[in-house]
Amino acid sequence: DTAVSQTPKYLVTQMGNDKSIKCEQNLGHDTMYWYKQDSKKFLKIMFSYNNKELIINETVPNRFSPKSPDKAHLNLHINSLELGDSAVYFCASSQASQAAYEQYFGPGTRLTVT
């Protein structure tokens, strides 16, 4: 069984559209994350949730809205997509939000905005 799964794996869409990426973890972890990896492979955290509550919210345009219906799921909704949103988005989870816990990453969602 996949520990952290994301859907879809690939997403191609046009500027101005609204899209969502879903993430699920079956590890029983309390904390989940969204990261953006740009074309230069730079990984940047966007959001972190602990037990469905937002604990990290980096400087991200408010077009990006995370939603955690339960602690096993963290979805990312993006409004009014722009060319610069093209990237690979990774979901991750960890046992708790303290720094000592390793993160388990999903396979990524490659978003291409045309």
Partner 1 sequence: LAKTTQPISMDSYEGQEVNITCSHNNIATNDYITWYQQFPSQGPRFIIQGYKTKVTNEVASLFIPADRKSSTLSLPRVSLSDTAVYYCLVSLYNQGGKLIFGQGTELSVKP
Residues lying near partner 1 in the complex (CB under 8 A):
4, 33, 40-45, 48, 55-56, 90, 92, 97-100, 102-108
Query: Beta-strand (E) ranges in 1-114?
Result: 4-7, 10-13, 19-25, 31-37, 43-50, 53-57, 64-70, 73-78, 87-94, 104-105, 109-113
Q: How far is the CB of 45 from partner 1 (least distance, A)?
A: 5
In 10 A of CB 73, how many CB atoms? 16
Closer to partner 1 at the Cβ: 18 or 53?
Answer: 53
* CB closer to partner 1, 26 vs 80: 26
CB of 16 to partner 1, least distance (A): 28
The nearest distance, CB 80 to partner 1, in angstroms, is 27
